[in-house]
Amino acid sequence: MRNFQIKRNQKIALFFPLLIPFSFFYWLVVEIRNFLFCHQFLLKSIKLNCFLISIGNITAGGTGKTPITIFLAKQFLKKEKEIAVIARGYKKKGNGFLVSNKREILLEPRESGDEAGLLAKNLSGVPVLIGRNRKGLTKIALNNFKADTIILDDAFHYRYLKKDLEIVVLDATSPFSNKKLLPLGLLREPLSSLKRADCFWLNHINLTDQEKLANFKKNLKEINPRANIIESSYQPVSLVDSSGKISELSAIFGKEVWLLAGIGNPLTFENLVKGLGVKIKGKSFFPDHHWYKKRDLKRILREEFDILLTTEKDLIKLKEISFPKPICALRIEVKIKDEEKLWEVLKIK
């Protein structure tokens, strides 16, 4: 297994003195930008005529925002809200901006990016739009799709729109890395920026020590006493193959599996699989948003196992690659510790 976090830390340690001025310059730019937005001087935020929710994080790398975005969009759908989702479309190859128009998916995952592709696949009845110009895309969502609720994915740092609810998703297993800003650490903003949050969403709470979790929540309250705290975990519910066929989790019980993932924190995926009664023969972990090529899977073919087990986000990037063994993705659901508190935060009944 290639441990990217260890390699990154080794590189940082090696070049630490050289990275200090870059990290300082990054901090300075972020602080000036935040100051201008806070005082609405030169950089200004506008209010939309809808309920605007931002789901973001303060670190570079995955905290599990996409499954949470899917979960929340489905909750608003149940309440018969006209919901739209707007994402960046990270690493998209195409020029299109409309991934899904409620009725059908218009862009392939390679054109829209893996996360936007996963959003569109799982959110039937919800328009999914991608692009850097969130302000322009919200106008399309309001005018063309009559949205009354818009979710901005990965938008904690996007401040040109005033949010009605600012949710910051934090990985409870590794919330702030080494607490240093890029490129010395993984922080995209200083921890003081968390004062802007309305809600801290602590993900993967089942994978961390409860004492550490309690201390983490205490630290968050010290930074921002007014913010609500929502706690969640992932629960495996079924399996899906590239054709869309759904199978029970029992279908892999006792099988020998090889894990494949290109997500921000692959260890969370591995920990979920460990409870499924399978034998993990090995694992191949790649950087987040990695697009697979035949050579990536070539070494795996030399190994003995029954099933290549991956995530839904990775499965959509494997469709074009032929593989002689079965490939299945683990489907998950977001489980909330205190659902009543969540409904209060979302302001829906």
Same domain? For 97 and 142 the reply is: yes
Same domain? For 212 and 94 the reply is: yes
Tokens at residue 183, please?
A: 């490129």
Same domain? For 206 and 323 the reply is: no
The answer to whether residue 122 sits within a structural domain is yes
Q: What's the average model confidence in pLDDT over 239-251?
A: 95
pLDDT at 293 over 60: yes
The answer to whether residue 106 sits within a structural domain is yes
Tokens at residue 222, please?
A: 């010290």
- The CA distance from 15 to 69, in Å, is 36
The answer to whether residue 85 sits within a structural domain is yes
The kind and range of the H/E element at 213 are helix 210-223
Tokens at residue 250, please?
A: 């029992």
Q: Is 172 exposed, middle or buried (0-12, 13-18, 19+ CB in 10 A)?
A: buried
Lowest mean pLDDT across 59-63, 143-147, 178-182, 297-301:
59-63
The answer to whether residue 241 sits within a structural domain is yes
- pLDDT at residue 61 in the model: 76
Exposure of 85 in the CB half-sphere (CA atoms within 13 A): 35
Q: What sign does the dihedral 205-166-127-293 (CA atoms) show?
A: negative
In this structure, what CATH number is given to the domain that contains residue 304? 3.40.50
- The CA distance from 138 to 142, in Å, is 6
Residue-wise pLDDT tens digits, 216-230 = 999 999 999 999 999
Residue-wise pLDDT tens digits, 294-345 = 999 988 988 999 999 999 999 999 988 989 999 999 999 999 999 999 988 9
Q: Beta strands 149-153 and 83-87: pairing type?
A: parallel
Same domain? For 117 and 177 the reply is: yes
pLDDT at 240 over 80: yes
**Is this model's pTM higher than 0.85 or not?**
yes
- The CA distance from 173 to 206, in Å, is 9
In this structure, what CATH number is given to the domain that contains residue 93? 3.40.50.300
Cβ neighbours of residue 115 under 8 Å, at least 6 residues apart? 66, 87, 89, 90, 153, 289, 313
- Mean pLDDT score across all residues of the chain: 93
Tokens at residue 318, please?
A: 């494997």
Closest listed residue to residue 130, CA positions, set 161, 157, 152: 152
Note whether 265 and 4 are within 8 A (CB).
no
pLDDT at 2 over 50: no
The answer to whether residue 22 sits within a structural domain is no
Residue-wise pLDDT tens digits, 161-218 = 999 999 999 999 988 878 899 999 899 999 999 999 999 999 999 999 999 999 999 9
Same domain? For 190 and 274 the reply is: no
Domain carrying residue 91 = 51-234+335-346
From residue 222, give the alpha-carbon distance in Å to each of 185, 281, 344, 345: 22, 44, 22, 20
Domain count, the chain: 2
Same domain? For 223 and 275 the reply is: no
Same domain? For 339 and 195 the reply is: yes
- pLDDT at residue 73 in the model: 97
